[in-house]
Structure 1
């Protein structure tokens, strides 16, 4: 019989660390002691005890050496190289788990990076302007029917009033138009573009980069500044300063400057041209320079460097109240400065106070990014701690030969950071591939800032944070093992050792389930609003902007020709588009009105054919008709306006309006169902429809449904060109314009869907790895059960049930959390859906199905193993 031998590697350790004198004294004694223990304890326990004896002998030597090295340099280059070498070997030895860790972390980091780029784009909005923190627009709060409403517009005389009374508080005070779409033309090129009419000083205030000309270009009365892209469109690469062009086919102007295109994340990014405010006033005779009752214009200011914007805002509060007439004063107008820094994210007002806006999306996406990244880190923690028993002997040996706990922690952190480094490289690749799709969904133009040092500093900090977060629990957990228990073979993880892993899995699926519920409810809210009755027919209805008076002059001829060809059903003209209301009016009196009641009505100016064109729906009365000359002073009310007035039988009743020192009497000819012309999420405003006696800004055309849309558009273009050859033909489908009102919520839903899919993917990766490990641990148990007659289904159920319980627990936790936050989100919409029970049921079943599909692959694979292979070592 062969003589038992002690472990050869332990003897080699003794030779490596100990002196010759110590070897002569101890080696023989250890060998003799080993043989005695074999007879008493058996070979297996004797070998373990021999290892413990050797380690106890060499430990003082190694510990002394380690402490000396550590005192010289905590992290020497050799130590770091060894850490990384060991970390790399561990990764290559366990390729499947390494892939899960790296892929999961890369996906989580990619989500966090995409959201980070989106948030940076939002937070940096308008920061391209050097005076960003000193620029504001003048806005107005006024009483509307007992509530304070906020106007984003100003009156024409406001600029002069501010300059005369508070000039020392401002560096710039500039009156301006709203964004205006006009025809820009030269002899060879005609384009409809968006631009502004500004008082001189805008180029300095907005710190425009002038490529040609100077900031003083607008000082000339018939001048125009062009954006770089517009200058190229009209004049190529040559210097256009001094060249002549026309605005609206009638205003001759000279190019006095070209400014660099403004970035997309700025409020003036679509500003193709800037023309003088004085030119705007002279070309629109209806504007009264001293009319405080006229709104619909803009006032921008840059406060002086030595003053506080809040203090200035308080000073100018009553300037309009002091100048306006008695009727206007009843609305108690109060002006205030709204800083540029808040235009983008805090643009929603309620009762005169900013209540937020897009900032809620910033917070939502930031939380999603954090949660998804944490999910990825949970995968790393789960798999690292799950495989802890396989690393236990390594930790035991290291500790026994003198490794300090902080060195073990450093070792595990180095492994974590190496995984993060590989994950970050994969993350960059994923982000670069996904960015076009992401930009399309988010309506952004973000990109990786390769040349930005700040980006790389943030990325390095991000990687360190992720590495430390992902590696913290494994490092602290694994380094705490006791070497005596591990090397004696008495180490047992304990009945509660799996609890942290179960908690982490529950946390993962809680987040994933909550995201899925959020996605469903967001899309349900959008669909609920889309299904809301709009009060007219959008099918085949188009809007065509008419910047010149030529179409208005020949409107009857155009209508006749298009109807003659059966191209259209009807055509009408209106002052505002079908998807927006531009005017409000007050000063109305009617029978039964309370004396102190202040009433403000949205006002839509139309022609007689408007109702037939759009297909509005009457509750009472009739449509406007050219057969009745009195209809020029007739009005149509929507249901909300009629209910507000409290008129039981409104048809034929008169209402009186006193405005601008004149009194007009209108008679009610009809009442229609509410038409949604603004936000589909809010109640319809009380609206009065009046006959417009002048030029409209839009024509509305109902295409004949029997005609091909393509052919109909070609015919409409031909007829319009006949009467207005200088205006480019541009049309918009009302259905498309209406659909854009859901854009923000739909984008939010799509992005959350995208992130939810990635969250589920990450969670399933971790679940798959964990299921694989548990199946590997229970291989012998599975073999025994198969020998005893267990079926494949029994084994599948055995391995799957624990995960099912975890997902059900996550569902129970996620449901009330998701309901609470989504119910709170829905409260911001006046017109909103209800949260139905089936949403939670479908989500729970979906999560359960995904879990079973993920776990079943590993479970069935383990169940099909040959029990002979599983039990042969026994």
Structure 2
């Protein structure tokens, strides 16, 4: 119903413009209330009376509003006194109800802590690589090949590509640089020897990465025998001495001069491990096979990296399309069968979009950003739900207070302000606790998430965001209680009819919905945690084709060990701590080389061949523990083994060989004979199919040594013996080693991190939900004290009373379980689809999750239920 339009026009004429909206809103609200109470006709007369009471004739051109009463003027104006009174009342309410206050504050504090930690993590992920000023214009050139209908994308490209890009599309690029791979190298100065991660790169690298130089300049790599060191490496090598112009040796072979020191790159940069940079030309001049790869026809040697910085007017999409076909017709004709193409991979996508599927760059860590962002929002929402539930549950106690305050002139917006002040006070206290909890738990969180995050205490942006976050949380937590409680009608409240049976039932429905929402989230997180850990366990139990127990591997940087390999082998075996030792081109836990050019009898001419190729010494199979399904291992007694190969079962299947032993295989026109077939040796991801592999005798120096420790000897004794022998033959190299089982375990790091964080958040979600349940159970027990007393007098047992108070909550958890199960199944099934080797989602996972949630619920509410059931009925009924 609309108020009288003439009265409204009169009000607009006489009322001051800056007060019109406020006064008119109040009168309209009062009119709507009067229509409901006394009917429209009488309400219109009262509306006229109120309008005439608020205005007075104009004096000149100034207009004023006549105050209806002193109460109206003091309660309608937002002023410091009123705010202070609101906070004072809110504080008294908190101290009066200590148990509810503790539940609200602790729940919100935990929820805000989780949201803060996840917020820091998400910010760290989204700002990855932004340390580099050219972040938006840097890209890596990626190589794409179509192998048997599938487009494979990798980082490796050839050296001649750089010259081709410069000659044909030089105007589209500001910088084009070549780089090796960031690997460990030995840095030596005097008696100090360090093994650090570094790279050989073009002189433009410091400019492209916008390194912050602490000493020297970005042009330091222009000198052919120079090196740039990170701040931490320079300090480790030289201490407080100025490192400029000092001579350092790389891998005990290359003498270089320090021409600059740059600030350590941050942990959230893909170049975080770039601890030193040496000139690309030095790499070429000191490495024979790299010098060979510089030939303009060596387009098949895709063992290098190219990074580019686009020119100002060039766009990533346009340049990527221009260079796509640049490799066509270059080099070996057989390579053209793979339909080779190039694409630019922007730095802005390196970290969050690292997955390539059939030539399309989509997915990666961005999925985790969304996942944990949603979890953080849900956990905070659970805490806000507790506040809403407990506030509305206590509405009966506050109903008369609200009715009296409305009867003496309080307006609804005034009551809303009061309830919001209580919400903001709780959020303010909780936010202080949340900051403290976040600071205390940050080391643990960094360790689990593999981060180096800090809380930016001095950042104005952090405090502005934090204030906005608190306001948003306060509004979220206090909105429903404020709107719900302020809507009580004073006549019904004071008559005692507001919370009759019908109204009471309607009042609990929103609380039940919120409890269901809480446990839906909790059950979903529990199911997700179990599935993640089952997937990890499923992959860990996968056969790996060799025995990694007691196996260590070492990266060799100098030829000393290779040149004296037989002597090293004999001395180590004589110690009794080592069973065997072997060399290989790559580590047992990774693929370092893939090659094409294979042919055999009966091969389908259209089949494109690409094999993992691993050069090994004779004792490699014995050392790693190969399991032969056919044929034999390499042996020094057979001179023909120099042209023999061992293949895995995946290769037999790929080649379609029925009798592989003795089969002739041509590799780039060189003939090899299959002498053995081994079980698939898992070298790449444990979640992917094993690739077809070929093992052959490697004659030249290999970069890896693998050693099998005698199971009867202790690891400490074995390592001491190995170090003694290695120091004897390579005294200038530091003794560094890795256990193969430790390196293999790193393949599960990402999934284990997800599982640990998911379980951590699931526990906190259940904790917050149980806090709310505990408060609601306490309130229900208090509300039904007299009913329980009567039931006990009439003969009800403790079990009867416990069932009475528990059944409603049990039903809500069962409803939540029914909602959570299909939701969890849908998202987890989609997550598992990205793994070729994956577990299944069994029914018992949902049953166990539901039973666990139900058990936790019963334990939570049983304390209050049993406490109420054991209460003396005489005390409960004394007031009657």
TM normalised by structure 1 equals: 0.92
User: Is 2:209 the counterpart of 1:206?
Assistant: yes
Structure-2 separation of matches of 1:262 and 1:576: 28
Check the 8 A contact 1:224/1:255 in 2, yes or no: yes
Segments of structure 1 that go 5 or more residues without pairing to the other structure are: 1-55
* Cα deviations by residue, 1:327-382 (Å, 9 ceiling, x for unpaired): 11111110111000100011110111112111111111111101101100000000
Task: Identify which of 828, 833, 854 aligns with 1:827.
Answer: 833
Check the 8 A contact 1:145/1:600 in 2, yes or no: no
Structure-1 separation of matches of 2:644 and 2:74: 97
Check the 8 A contact 2:172/2:310 in 1, yes or no: yes
Check the 8 A contact 2:419/2:478 in 1, yes or no: yes
Structure-1 separation of matches of 2:548 and 2:630: 22
User: Is 2:331 the counterpart of 1:328?
Assistant: no
Deviation at 1:145, TM superposition (A): 2.1
- Aligned residue for 1:445? 452
User: Is 2:102 the counterpart of 1:96?
Assistant: no
Q: 1:536 to 1:707 in 2, by over 3 A?
A: same
Structure-1 separation of matches of 2:495 and 2:660: 96
Check the 8 A contact 2:228/2:261 in 1, yes or no: yes
Structure-1 separation of matches of 2:320 and 2:825: 41
Segments of structure 2 that go 5 or more residues without pairing to the other structure are: 1-49, 55-65
User: Is 2:134 the counterpart of 1:164?
Assistant: no
Local SS of the residue matching 2:327: helix
Check the 8 A contact 2:177/2:308 in 1, yes or no: yes
* Cα deviations by residue, 1:819-860 (Å, 9 ceiling, x for unpaired): 111111111110000111111111111111111110011011
Deviation at 1:494, TM superposition (A): 3.0
Task: Identify which of 387, 398, 414 aligns with 1:391.
Answer: 398
- Aligned residue for 1:484? 491
Structure-2 separation of matches of 1:323 and 1:533: 41
Structure-2 separation of matches of 1:856 and 1:221: 77
Structure-1 separation of matches of 2:164 and 2:245: 34
Check the 8 A contact 2:75/2:414 in 1, yes or no: no
Structure-2 separation of matches of 1:760 and 1:223: 58
- Pairwise CA RMSD of aligned residues? 1.4
Structure-2 separation of matches of 1:681 and 1:102: 44
Structure-1 separation of matches of 2:67 and 2:107: 39
User: Is 2:643 the counterpart of 1:641?
Assistant: no
- Aligned residue for 1:805? 811
Deviation at 1:238, TM superposition (A): 2.5
Q: After TM superposition, what 4+ stretches of structure 1 lie above 3 angstroms from structure 2? A: 59-71
Structure-2 separation of matches of 1:422 and 1:200: 55
Q: 767-776 or 393-402, which moves further after superposition? A: 393-402
Local SS of the residue matching 2:506: coil
Q: 624-633 or 415-424, which moves further after superposition? A: 624-633
Structure-1 separation of matches of 2:592 and 2:326: 24
Structure-2 separation of matches of 1:556 and 1:543: 17
Structure-2 separation of matches of 1:805 and 1:163: 70
- Aligned residue for 2:235? 232
Structure-2 separation of matches of 1:607 and 1:353: 39
- Aligned residue for 1:555? 565
Task: Identify which of 819, 823, 837 aligns with 2:843.
Answer: 837
* Cα deviations by residue, 1:75-114 (Å, 9 ceiling, x for unpaired): 2111111111111111111011000000000000101111
**What is the count of residue pairs matched by the alignment?**
811
User: Is 2:712 the counterpart of 1:690?
Assistant: no
- Aligned residue for 2:138? 135
* Cα deviations by residue, 1:610-633 (Å, 9 ceiling, x for unpaired): 100001111111111111111111
Check the 8 A contact 2:523/2:849 in 1, yes or no: yes
Task: Identify which of 558, 583, 599 aligns with 2:593.
Answer: 583
For residues 285-304 of structure 1, what are the structure 2 equivalents within 5 Å?
285-287=288-290, 288-290=293-295, 291-304=298-311
* Cα deviations by residue, 1:560-604 (Å, 9 ceiling, x for unpaired): 111112221111000111110111111111111111211111111
Check the 8 A contact 1:347/1:354 in 2, yes or no: yes
User: Is 2:354 the counterpart of 1:343?
Assistant: no
Check the 8 A contact 2:67/2:73 in 1, yes or no: no
Structure-1 separation of matches of 2:144 and 2:802: 67
- Aligned residue for 2:25? none
Structure-2 separation of matches of 1:180 and 1:163: 27
Deviation at 1:325, TM superposition (A): 2.3
- Aligned residue for 2:7? none
Local SS of the residue matching 2:634: coil
Structure-1 separation of matches of 2:748 and 2:722: 29
Local SS of the residue matching 1:517: helix
- Aligned residue for 2:121? 118
Check the 8 A contact 2:662/2:673 in 1, yes or no: yes
Q: 1:416 to 1:62 in 2, by over 3 A?
A: farther
Structure-1 separation of matches of 2:344 and 2:544: 36
User: Is 2:715 the counterpart of 1:712?
Assistant: no
Q: 489-498 or 783-792, which moves further after superposition? A: 489-498
Task: Identify which of 856, 860, 863 aligns with 2:862.
Answer: 856
TM normalised by structure 2 equals: 0.91
Task: Identify which of 257, 261, 269 aligns with 2:260.
Answer: 257
* Cα deviations by residue, 1:488-541 (Å, 9 ceiling, x for unpaired): 222213322111101100110110011011111100100000000000000100
Task: Identify which of 544, 553, 560 aligns with 1:543.
Answer: 553
Q: 1:302 to 1:790 in 2, by over 3 A?
A: same
Local SS of the residue matching 1:841: helix
Structure-2 separation of matches of 1:308 and 1:691: 48
Check the 8 A contact 1:525/1:832 in 2, yes or no: yes
- Aligned residue for 1:190? 193
For residues 445-484 of structure 1, what are the structure 2 equivalents within 5 Å?
445-484=452-491
Check the 8 A contact 1:110/1:431 in 2, yes or no: yes
Structure-2 separation of matches of 1:615 and 1:491: 79
Structure-2 separation of matches of 1:538 and 1:596: 38
- Aligned residue for 2:527? 517
Local SS of the residue matching 1:430: helix
Local SS of the residue matching 1:121: helix
Check the 8 A contact 1:180/1:194 in 2, yes or no: yes
Deviation at 1:66, TM superposition (A): 4.5
Local SS of the residue matching 1:307: coil
Structure-1 separation of matches of 2:823 and 2:164: 53
Check the 8 A contact 1:63/1:401 in 2, yes or no: no
